[in-house]
Structure formats: C-alpha cells, structure tokens
Amino acid sequence: MLTRVIIIVFLVELLTTAAFAQFFYFGRNKVQYTTFDWHVLKTEHFDIYYYPEMRELAERGASFAEESYKALEQKFNHNVGNRIPLIFYSSHLHFQQTNTTPGFIPEGVGGFFEFLKGRVVIPYNGSLWDFRHVIKHELVHVFMHSKVMRVLSDHRLAQDRLPPLWFTEGLAEFWSTDWDVQAEMVLRDAVVNNYVVPLSRMEQISGSYLMYKEGQNLLQFLASRYGDEKVLLMMENFWKATSFEDVFKKTTGKTYQEFDDDWLYWLKKTYYPLLALADPPSAVSKPIVEEGFNSKPVYYQHGTKREIYFLGNHTGYSSIYRIPFDSAKAKLEIVIEGERTEDLEAFHLFQSKLDISLDGLLAFVTKSGENDALHIYDIERNKLTQTYKFDSLVVLGSPSWSPDGKRIVFSSVDKSGSSDLYIWDTGREELTRITHDFYDDKDPAWSPDGNWIAFSSDRTPFGYHGKYNLFLLNLSTNGIEYLSYGDESYYSPTWSPDGKSLVFTSDIGGARNIWMMQFDTPLTPNPSPSGRGVGGEGGSAKKLTHFTTAAFDPAWTDSGLVFSAFEDFSFQLRYIKNVQKLYDSSNTSKSLSLTPLEKPWEPKAIVAEDSAQPPRYSGDYSLDIAGSQISTDPVFGTAGGAYLALSDILGNEQYYFLLYNTAQSTDELLESFNIAVSRFSLQQRANYAYGVYRFSGRRYDLRDPDLYFYERVFGGYFALSYPLSKFRRVEAAISVSNSDKEVIYGIEERRALFLSNSISFVHDNSLWGPSGPLDGSRFNVTLAYTTDIQFSNANYYSAIFDYRHYFRLAQRSAYAVRLWLFYNEGKEARRFFMGGSWDLRGYPRWSLRGKKLWLTSHELRFPFLDQLGLRFPFGGVTFVGLRGALFFDAGSAWDDTYRETLGSIGGGVRINLGGVFVLRYDIGKRIVNNLRNFDDEVFQQFFFGWDF
Amino acid sequence: MIAVCRLRIVEWRRRQISLQPFVKLFFVILLVVGFYGCSNLQLLKTPQNDSHQWQQYGGTIERTNGSSSLLQPPLSVAWMYDASAGYSEYSVTIADSIVYIGTLLGEVYAVHAHTGENIGSYDFESAIYGAPVVDHSMLYVATANSEVSLYGFDLMKGRVVWKAALGGIETSPLLLGDNLFVTTLDGDVYSINKHTGTANWKFLTPLFERPAFLRSSPASDGKSLVFGCDDGSVFCISIEDGKLLWHSRTEKSVVASPSIWNGRVFVGSQDGAMYAFNLSDGALVWKQSLGSPIYSSQAVGEHYVYAGTSSGDIVCLKSETGEILWRHKAQSAISCAPLLAGKVLYVGSLDRSLYALDADTGTLLWNETLEGRIKSMPVVWNEFLVLPLDNKMVVGMKRGGGE
C-alpha cells in the first residue's frame, strides 16, 4: 500500500519537478483529431450521445436500441434499473478516438460495454444491419450484467464476479443475431480441421473470435438439447456456486466434460457429412500464400511479369505484398509497409480491396491521420506517386479504376455515417457522389467498357435482414438496376477482362462461394423499354466453387481466378483455373428474378423532441474509483489516506484527488497532510493536465543526492502532450514548487522555490511480442531545466536520450538494441540510477548512481519453449510461450569523474503470465575492469518486467 | 504460618465464590444470544382462524390468486419493513394479523400486518422461493437446499419439529388436509405428512426428451394435483397415490403455477400462450397467444383469467373460450401473478408500479410508483395490501393510510 502511495506521489512529481526529465515513457498516441460537438438524445431507457453530423443515424440507432431493449426485457425477464448511456460514432475512425477507454481500439472491435460507468460505445460502419446487431449485442451484456448483479444482491452475496467470457460473449451473440454464414464458416473449419476447443478448455481461446462463435454455437446447442430455459436459468442460478462449472452442472445436470461429449459429437455429426458435398479450399485449389492473413488479391501482368498484389499481415504489421504468380518458388515481398508511419497507419485488412490500372498504377486506401486517404503507387517505378484526401469523407474503401485509368470509383463513409459511392477524376481532381442514401453501397467494380459500375448493396427489402444484393449503376443515366434479388447475400463483383462475365461471391447454400454470371447479350447503356440495361427479365448464375468454408474477393488472372479462402483459421490466397469449364460443368445454378416484390426498406427512427435545438452535452460526471488504505512500514512509519477519481461520461475530463497523512504522532498531524488534486483534459488534440499538491513526509529518493530526507513541498504544475501522429508526440511541462528539505543524516535544511521546465519528443511504432517489443523502434529525447528562483539552492539542466530499435529476424525473433545517454549538470543535480534485471544486468538493482549515465544493451530475442506442461494425478499446470534471450550490456554512471565501464553477458528466459506481467530469469557473467575481464562468479537474477 | 495459609485459602475461596454469579450470568447471556441469534420466532399466543387469511400461495388450493378481502384503491404506504434480502415471485402469507415473509437469503420474518413491526425471524439457511404455508401454529417452509429442504416449524415452540430431505425446492408447497405437496428441482413430486414430515408417496416426472426441473407450484381440486414442468409439460397426478392421470404439452417451459377453476386448468407458457386444459383428461380446451413469454402465474375469477406477460401486457381472457377481452400495457415486464380482490385486479410490474385495474373492463383505477421493482405478487388481507419489493423492503399499503 505504501508503495502505491509512493507511486501516486511519484506520478504527480513526475509532472512537476525536475524528476520529470529523468523518467519517461513511450507508447503510441490516441490522437483526438476531431472535435466532436456532443449532444444528448434522451429516449425512454437511453441517453444517447452523438454529434450533429450523425443525427439521423443516432435517431435510427435510438430506435434500434429501444426495440432491442423490449426484446431483451422478455428474454431476461428483467429490466435495467438505470438509464443506459449509449455513445455513438459515425465511423470506426472516429470511434478509435474515444476516451471512454484508455486503450487503443483495434479495427476488428465493433463496440463495447464498459462496466465502470455502464457505457455502451458503438461505431457505425455503413451497415444499418450491423449497427442494429452490435447495439443488441452490447445490450445483452448490459442486461446480463444487471441480471447477474441482481441475483447476487438478492442472495446477499458480493457482486464481485461474472460468468466466464465464453458465456458472456456467446450469449451476446446468441441473443442478438441468428447463426449466420460467417459463424458457420468458422465452426465448419474448426470441426473439419480438428481445432474445436472443448468447453472444458475454453480459457485457451479466451477473447478470440473463435471463442465468440464457439460460445454462440454451444449455447445454441444447449438450448436445443437441454431446453431454451436453461440459458436464462444459468444466470438465475449464478448464486448457487462460486465456480461457473458448478453452476453449469446444477443447471444442466452435466459437467463440462459430459457436455463436451455431447456437443463435440453433435458437431461432428453435423459437419463431417459436408465433406461428401463440398471440399476444403486446400483440396481443390492451388495455393499461392498459405501462411498468415491475406486478403484482397489483384493480378498484374506486364510483359512476362505476372504478379499478385494483396493485403497481408505476416509480421504483426499489415502491409501490401506481392508474389510472382504461378511460380514454384515464389517468394513474398513487401511492397508497401504499413502501421509504422502516419501516412500509412492502417490498411483496413479485410475491408478495402486493391485495384491496378492497365498502366500499372496500384490504388489502395489507408488510414492517414484523421481520415482515410487514397494512394496511387506506380508499380513499375516502385514509387508512391499520389495521395488524395477528402475533407468530407472519413472512411474510404475498395477503389476501382475506370478502363481509361483516369477515374477511380470507391465507397466511402462520410461524417454522417452514410456509405455511398464516389468517383474521383484524377485528371480534373473532381469528386462526384453517385449514390446518396442510407443504404450501404460497397465493392464497386468498373466494367471494362466503362459504362457500368457493379456494386453490392443492402438496398433491397432483404437488406433489413442484412442481405446484400448486386446492382449495376448505369453511368449514362445514373440509374441503378438489379443484378440479383434474393434473400441471400452477394459480394465483390468482378468483371472478366472481356466484360462478358461477372464473378462474385455469394452465401447461397449456406457457405460463401464463388459464382459467375454471363451476359449472353452485351449490356447496353441505353435503357431498354423495361428500364433495364441487362437483357431480359433476369439471368442466372452458376456456382464455380463448393468450399466447406468460404471464398472472398475473387480476381481475374490471365488463366483463372485468384481469391482469398478461409481455412485452418487463416486467410489463404488460392487459385483456380479453367473458369469457363467450371462454369459449363457446374450443376448448381440460381435463377435471378429481378422483379422487385416490395419496396426497399426504411429504418425507423426516434426523433429528438426539440428538432430545432438538440440538447448539447454539458458534462455528466460520476465516480470512477474511491478507496482508502492504511499501511505501516518499519522505516517510514504509518500512513493512511483516501483517493478518488471522477470523470465524465465521455472520458474527456478526469479529476483525481488524493489525501493521506503520514503523521507518527498527534503533534505531527497537521504538518503531515498530503493532498493532491489534478485535472486531465483529453478532449482536444493537445491533452493537458494541471494540478496542485502538498506533500510532506520522509522520503527515500534514489535520484536525490541526499538520498534519505524529510521534505515538505507544495506547488502546482501544468503538463501538455501534443500528438503529431499516432507514433510521435511532443510533451512539455512546467511546475513551481516550494520545497523545504531536512536531510536526516546530514542534519541539514535546504529550502528552495523550484521552477522546472521540460520538453520531450517521443516516438514509438514498436510492435510487441509476448515479453516485449519485436519490431519497430522507439525513442525519447528530453531536455529540462530546474532552478531555485528564490534561494538559488539548485540550478541544473538535464538531457535524456533513450533510443531503442528492434530488428526483426523472423516471425518471433528479433535483435533489440538500446542506447541511453543521460546527463544532469548543475547545483543539486539529480542522479540517475541503474543496475538489475531491467538495464545493466548482473549488478544489484539500482546500485549504480550518477549524474551522468550511459548504457547500451544488445539482445537476441527468440522463442524458447512453446509449451511446457506438468501433469500430476490431481491436475496440472501448463506454461506457454517461454521466450529466450542472449544479451550483452555495457554502461556506467558517474557524477563528475568517469569511473569504470561495466558490462555483462548472458542469457535468460521470460514468461508472460496472463498478459499482465512477465517473469524473467537471467544468468551470466559480469565484465569488469573496463570490459577487459570476466568476473569469476556467475550471477543469477530473477525478477519481473517487460523486455526493454 | 498455618494460620496465614488458612487465611489465604479462605480468601481464595471467597474470591472463587464471588466470581460464580458472573460466570453464570455470562453463560446465560451466551445461551440467550446463541438462541436468539439463530431464531427468535416464537408466538406468544396461538394463532386464531382468520376468515381473510392468506394461508398459502394462491390463496386456495386451486391457486386462483383471488382474495376474500375487498380493497379499493387509492392506496398509500402505511409501513415498510426491511428484510435486507431479495424475494421470489411467490410473496408472503398472512394469518391472524401476522405477515410471514420468506427471503432468498433463507430467513422467514414475521411482522405485524397492521404496523410492520418485527415479531421475529428464523434462519433456514437456504434460499426460500415459495411462500411459507401457515397452518394454525405451524409454519411449513420449503428451501432450495439440495438436501434437507422442507421444514415443519412450530410457531409456539419457536423451533423446527421435523425436516425432510427432498432435494431443492423453488416452489410453494400446497397444504391440503393433513398433507403437503411439493414439486422439486430434481423433477420429483412428494406428498408429505404435515405432522411428521414423512413421505406418503413420491412421483417421478417422466423424462421425455431431457431432464427438466419443476419450478411450477402445484394446484389441486382436492382429488388431483396439477403442475407445470420446464420441458413444457403439464402433469396431473392423483392426490391419493401420486399416479399419473394425464400429461399435456406446451411448446416451451412452464414455470408459472397453474390455476384450477370450474373443471379447467389454466396456465401460461414461455411460448407466449395461455392454455386451458380439461382437468379430467388434460385435453386442450383453448390456447391463446399473448405475444411474449409468460413467466408468471395468473389469477382466475368468475369467467375470467388474468395474466401478465414479459412485454408488460396485462390481459383478461374469457375462461370458457380464451377470447381476449381487454389488455392493459405496463411499462415493463410482469414477473408475478396478479391478485384479484373483488372487482379490482392488482398487478405489479418491473417498472416499479403497482397497478389497480377494473377487473371487468381493464380500466386503470389507480397506480403508484414504488421504490423498487415489483417481482412478487401483492397479497390483500383485510384493509392492507402487502407487497415485497426488489429494494429488499416489504411495504404494507392501506386505503387512505400513511407512514
């Protein structure tokens, strides 16, 4: 406890005194690019936070939320007692800026429910169906949490536990959506490839997408086999046991193992027969890339050069790759590396396709600062030639070149959340919006004759249930015509080079496969009497592939189709040839009747009462944490105090209060009060913090020349952090503090009125492995100056240079380098310290101190043991991911006269425990005498901490 | 020397003797605290027959949820009692001006019906879902304990006089003559001698497709016993020997307790329909869809059946045909049975409101928003309406009364 108090004090001091210059941190930045003008729409059960650009979307979301609430009330036989805060963002890029959670939000996260304030935060992705699903999914979490807490409270039990993650996420999926094609794809693959994780070992895949789908399937099976009512009963019985497995047994009568026997057998019975009618992609197609995650392939031919370009992630960073096509020894090459710089921050791996014009210009989209950008890369010159950004457009996707190479059509989500199609004329630099409605239009593909754009959209009545059909946009008339019409989904239309065929993917039959339609007569841009350019009432499509799992994004090559296929929980690039032969011999066809049966759908909305002036958000604060503690220490005595933190519902404004007392006798009471109040503001791009404090007590400070003293200090600080991008930022701080120090052992007193200033530049684009960074680099350069403006008792400046680089050697191996140069000079300059497992290994922790310090570390990081299991008759324990290291450290610390260069060499093992901390063990030898000799003894150090 | 020793011995003995009263007092206090710490539920006078008593859940063995007391709204809170625990949908029982409250923490509290003043409590150490049954000076309590789950408690002696290990019970026992009838989570139905706690017979629910719990309290016409099952079944067995008489099906779980009226069995199912079966042979008379799952039991009056649904609908159906006569919408789910008191239907909802509707027309006569959700049915006794809330309080309401 006292350590925590010290840490809090330490953190405050971090921002206030010269110590700030000596301690630093890295980390990427959550950049508030956008100023959101928040408003609040109040419905019967919700407070919905939105910004005016997306008001219509918020009103639709409100309707979805109330509809879900009513449905869940019935399922749970329960209601939520308080109003639920719902925070909407009109795009994922805006969502990534949220302060409702301190962490970074990966692209795959579709929303979350946050327990502390009961907030539900949801981005829109262009699809109203997805929006409705995610709202309901998160509300299942809200209801489940409320129900379980109520059950525990009714039985007067501590409300300190929740069901396991497989249940909470499985339930959220089970009660928010039907079992769909994507879920089916995952389970089929898992069963056929034998990697289904049984319920009894579900913790092994905790948090993964597989867990979500297995959880959903498991609950579905449980309901059908043991009764619908068992799912709700599981929550109502939650009080009966502390172990959820016991609750499960009391509810179903089965242990996890017994249930697994039923469930796994049922899965096999369900999915094994599929192999009679369909095949895994690997059995019937040729591999191009099998490792890692690969998507959105596109073919390029220039002379004899034949290549496939695609989006992939093989190293932890998403990038654009290329591979020679149809070569036995084809080797992957990174063309454009992503996720290291602001311009190419993220590639939207599974969402946005690539396209290459006939003259070799690759068009692709990345996140680039606040919004997405459209880039043009000249393949022959290996050079990025153009980058386009559009102020009004937030998310871009799937560019497609016109045949003359002068225009690009792409889909985009604007600030209101509308997902529409746009054409960008690269010559005239003109942007034209070609669809403008609430339907989700995507995957545009320009026809070879230049007259049509095929695309996928939910603008049929089936779109209300999340179905996407294919459409043709007539560029002469701007009219939109059906290409398909049915209660199934169609995606990724791609024209054959001659324009006579269109391949696409569809989930007809329950799995997403490649289909093709052929146009018997050429498409005419002039309207026929029926109003359609496509000849006749409709055509038919034939199925080209019969995969057990799924195929995505087919692209024509000169001899067949290349596509992305899901198998063995990876997305592989594969190839089929003789497309015409496959078409001619296919026995599976679908007639496409294009007569619309109903009008397209219109989503309901709950409109704000005051449509002229929607209520603006003015701040809604609540307590985040409050606590009190007492501790005692043989050296520092007893301390007791309390702390609390408040923040607003959007997480933008945070307040921290600390109060404790270190008095050892009553006459010290008033003197020994310690108070700190801070405010952090994260709403704008420049984050700032300020506060006041008063601290008094005995201190042991490794940085201080006096080491052990009694100090009374009061003052204030202001700190600023300005992110230049996700990877770089500038920080500055200023503080004024009055310090009255009594040096205990020296029986001296020192008074000072410190003015401290510091400025830092931080860079971090490192990629982390299980025990520390494996790729990228990070550095911190800090300059600081501290002076006593009243008594001239201190006057020093500080310079810090901390550079770390990680050279990737293989998927899980790296060579890491670190260089420290720390310099303090002046009156009462602080000391740096090092020694121990975190820096100069082999020496006692923090045993080396000096006003100047340098250190260099070189470490080879590699996987050591993938799994180590110990099994006893009564149970076992398994350690996964043990990593090894070989290292060399050298450095020194001194005040005025350089002493000796010290070093060490050795090896070690690290293990990550629960993703929370890393245990580390090092063994080696010191190198002494200015690196001339090895020490006789071998040192061993066992500690915790991440690799540098 | 010897004299000194003797003197000292005498002094020591004096000291010894002088401590004894304190030691005795200490043990007396310990005994009293120990005794009262476990139980202080002991009545000072034998409970009298009470024409308006609500002796067991449902009011009568047919579980019609109709009160003999007439209580007209508006009502206001006359007293509140804090039992500091949650309650199930089965609510309280009242006899001779004493309200008996069973809690999910396993305690039974007895409070004065007029004032809410505490009389005593007893800890049965396992959750009590069903309403305790009061029969003169005996109280019968069923708990969720998977072993010993049924107790006969003597209110005059203030202690348990018998107990029976039947497996966990989350329903209300039925008292009929000298016997108690209970349905258990293990799927068993017992007939228990109310004087001794011994079983007369046991009925094992047949497994049709899968094991299923019994969370529906049994109802009776005096000859047969009817109850619902989690697998959607409705069973009828003989009171005499527990033999199966008939069995009918609904499409989803039946956790509501059936009501018997005029040769018909009425019960709601989680499939969203209200069912009426012939009591004699289980034939389906009518089935009426109410649109959303039904978790709670119904009230039955002359020619009418009143039910609540999880979508907040309070519905009146004609008992002969199932025709919906009127519907009233609450703001949230109805999780407990309504109570019919004369021409007034009292219904509680999770929206924290207690509604009073005209039983014939469905017109809203009065409603009041209380401090907690209403998940337990109201009980009317004389001029009081007693209602547990989910904020752990029990309120006594009275016409024109006040705190």
DSSP labels, A322-352: EEETT-TT---EEEEE-SSSSTT-B--TTT-
Compute the nearest-CA separation of B104 from chain A (Å).
5
**How many residue contacts between A and B have a Cβ separation below 8 Å?**
64
In a domain, residue B284? The reply is yes
Task: Kindly list the distances between the CA atom of residue B232 and the CA atoms of A917, B216, B224, B235, in Å, as whole numbers in the listed order.
Answer: 50, 11, 19, 10
The mean predicted confidence, pLDDT, of chain B is 89
Contacts of B253 in chain A (CB under 8 A): 227-229
Task: Kindly list the distances between the CA atom of residue B89 and the CA atoms of B238, B296, B357, B388, in Å, as whole numbers in the listed order.
Answer: 27, 8, 20, 9
Of A81, A155, A228, the CB nearest to B104: A155
Strand pairing of B219-220 and B199-204?
unpaired
Coil, helix or strand for B301?
strand
The b-or-e profile of A800-810 (16+ CB within 10 A means b, else e) is bebbbbbebee
Compute the nearest-CA separation of B298 from chain A (Å).
16
A228–chain B Cβ distance below 8 A for any pair: yes
Yes or no, beta carbons of B390 and A150 under 8 Å apart: yes
Q: Is the pLDDT of residue B207 over 80?
A: no
Of A74, A153, A154, the CB nearest to B293: A74
Cα(A533)–Cα(A517) distance, integer angstroms: 15
Yes or no, beta carbons of B373 and A79 under 8 Å apart: yes
pLDDT reported for residue B133: 96
In a domain, residue B268? The reply is yes
Q: Which residue of B has its CA nearest to A152?
A: B86
* Residue B218 backbone class (left: φ over 0; alpha: ψ -120 to 50; beta: rest): beta
Cα(B40)–Cα(B122) distance, integer angstroms: 6
- Edge to edge, the sheet with strand A407-414 lists A393-401, A407-414, A419-425, A430-433
Q: Is the pLDDT of residue B160 over 80?
A: yes
Of B84, B253, B312, the CB nearest to A228: B253
In a domain, residue B44? The reply is no
Structural domain including B385 reads 51-399
Peptide bond into B74 cis (omega under 30): yes
Yes or no, beta carbons of B373 and A81 under 8 Å apart: yes
Token reading at A758: 């510091």
Contacts of A73 in chain B (CB under 8 A): 310-312, 332-333, 350
Contact A490, A506 (CB under 8 A): yes
DSSP state of A811: T
Note whether B154 and B61 are same-domain residues.
Answer: yes
pLDDT reported for residue A754: 93
In a domain, residue B343? The reply is yes
Torsion A220-A222-A224-A228 (CA) sign: negative
Note whether B99 and B23 are same-domain residues.
Answer: no
Contacts of B144 in chain A (CB under 8 A): 240
In a domain, residue B46? The reply is no
Yes or no, beta carbons of B87 and A154 under 8 Å apart: yes
Rounded to 10 deg, the angle between the A244-252 and A229-236 helix axes is 140
Amino acid at residue number A921: Y
Kind and range of the H or E run holding B373? none
B311–chain A Cβ distance below 8 A for any pair: yes
Coil, helix or strand for B380?
strand
Note whether B27 and B139 are same-domain residues.
Answer: no
Q: What is the ipTM of this complex?
A: 0.89
pLDDT reported for residue B209: 66
Q: Which residue of A has its CA nearest to B269?
A: A229
Note whether B247 and B307 are same-domain residues.
Answer: yes
Note whether B202 and B270 are same-domain residues.
Answer: yes
> Would you give the distance in Å from CA A20 to the centre of its chain?
30
User: Which pLDDT tens digit goes with each residue over A403-453?
Assistant: 999 999 999 999 999 999 999 999 999 999 999 999 999 999 999 999 999
**Low-confidence spans in chain A with pLDDT less than 70:** 1-24, 328, 521-538, 593-599, 608-614, 745-747
Of A153, A155, A253, the CB nearest to B211: A253
Q: Which of B160, B132, B164, B126 is nearest to B144 (CA)?
A: B126
Contacts of B212 in chain A (CB under 8 A): 227
Contact A148, A163 (CB under 8 A): yes
* Entry field: residues in chain A: 948
Amino acid at residue number B370: L
- CA atoms in the 13 A half-sphere facing the CB of A777: 13
Note whether B112 and B218 are same-domain residues.
Answer: yes
Cα(A457)–Cα(A441) distance, integer angstroms: 4
- pLDDT band for position B10 (50/70/90)? very low
**Which of B88, B207, B210 should be substituted to probe chain A, the one whose Cβ sees the most A Cβ atoms within 10 Å?**
B210
Compute the nearest-CA separation of B12 from chain A (Å).
44
Contacts of B85 in chain A (CB under 8 A): 154-156
Note whether B19 and B68 are same-domain residues.
Answer: no
Amino acid at residue number A886: L
Token reading at A419: 């997902």
Cα(A217)–Cα(A226) distance, integer angstroms: 14
User: Which pLDDT tens digit goes with each residue over A124-175?
Assistant: 999 999 999 999 999 999 999 999 999 999 999 999 999 999 999 999 999 9
Amino acid at residue number A148: V
Task: Kindly list the distances between the CA atom of residue A348 and the CA atoms of A366, A382, A394, in Å, as whole numbers in the listed order.
Answer: 7, 22, 13
Token reading at B358: 């005209």
Note whether B157 and B27 are same-domain residues.
Answer: no
Burial of A928 (0-12, 13-18, 19+ CB in 10 A): middle
More confident call, A869 vs B280? B280
Token reading at A334: 């990174």
Q: If contacts are CB pairs under 8 Å, which of residues 97-126 in chain B contact chain A? A: 104-105
> Would you give the distance in Å from CA A132 to the centre of its chain?
21
Note whether B306 and B260 are same-domain residues.
Answer: yes
Compute the nearest-CA separation of A132 from chain B (Å).
20
Contact B144, B172 (CB under 8 A): no
pLDDT reported for residue A18: 29
Cα(A543)–Cα(A284) distance, integer angstroms: 14
Note whether B255 and B363 are same-domain residues.
Answer: yes
pLDDT reported for residue A591: 83
Note whether B356 and B316 are same-domain residues.
Answer: yes
Coil, helix or strand for B18?
helix
Helices (H), B248-330: none
Token reading at B256: 């509501």
Task: Kindly list the distances between the CA atom of residue A13 and the CA atoms of A7, A9, A506, A676, A753, in Å, as whole numbers in the listed order.
Answer: 9, 6, 60, 10, 15
Cα(A542)–Cα(A805) distance, integer angstroms: 53
A226–chain B Cβ distance below 8 A for any pair: yes
Q: If contacts are CB pairs under 8 Å, which of residues 61-80 in chain A contact chain B? A: 70, 73-75, 77-79
> Would you give the distance in Å from CA A459 to the centre of its chain?
30
Burial of A352 (0-12, 13-18, 19+ CB in 10 A): buried
Q: Which residue of B has its CA nearest to A74?
A: B310
A233–chain B Cβ distance below 8 A for any pair: yes
Q: How are the residues of chain A apportioned to helix, strand and coil, as percentages rounded to the nearest 5?
A: 20, 45, 35
Yes or no, beta carbons of B333 and A78 under 8 Å apart: yes
User: Which pLDDT tens digit goes with each residue over B321-361?
Assistant: 999 999 999 999 999 999 999 999 999 999 999 999 999 99
Contacts of A238 in chain B (CB under 8 A): none
Contacts of B334 in chain A (CB under 8 A): none
Q: Which CATH code is given to the segment(s) A39-159?
A: 3.40.30.160
Strand pairing of A933-944 and B66-67?
unpaired
A158–chain B Cβ distance below 8 A for any pair: no
Contact B259, B64 (CB under 8 A): yes
Phi/psi for B309 (5° steps) reads -120, 170
Q: Which residue of B has its CA nearest to A151?
A: B86
Yes or no, beta carbons of A155 and B85 under 8 Å apart: yes
Total tally of structural domains belonging to chain B: 2
Contact B380, B389 (CB under 8 A): no
Of A79, A229, A240, the CB nearest to B350: A79
Amino acid at residue number A361: L
pLDDT reported for residue A199: 96
Of A75, A154, A240, the CB nearest to B85: A154
User: What are the CB-based long-range contacts (under 8 Å, 24+) for B107-113?
Assistant: B107/B83, B108/B41, B108/B132, B108/B139, B108/B141, B108/B153, B109/B81, B109/B83, B109/B394, B110/B41, B110/B43, B111/B81, B111/B394, B113/B381, B113/B382, B113/B384, B113/B386, B113/B396
Contacts of A74 in chain B (CB under 8 A): 292-293, 309-311, 333
Compute the nearest-CA separation of A229 from chain B (Å).
7
Task: Give the class (CATH, top level) of A351-591.
Answer: mainly beta
Q: Which residue of A has its CA nearest to B390?
A: A154
Query: For chain A, what are the domain ranges?
Result: 39-159, 163-276, 351-591
Compute the nearest-CA separation of B293 from chain A (Å).
7
DSSP string over B123-161: E-SS---SPPEEETTEEEEE---SSEEEEEEETTTTEEE
DSSP string over A276-299: GT-B-HHHHSEEEE-SSEEEEEEE
Residue B182: CATH number of its domain? 2.130.10.10
Cα(A800)–Cα(B368) distance, integer angstroms: 68
Note whether B342 and B241 are same-domain residues.
Answer: yes
Cα(A41)–Cα(A49) distance, integer angstroms: 6
Residues in CB range of A142: below 8 A, 6 or more apart: A80, A84, A113, A118, A120
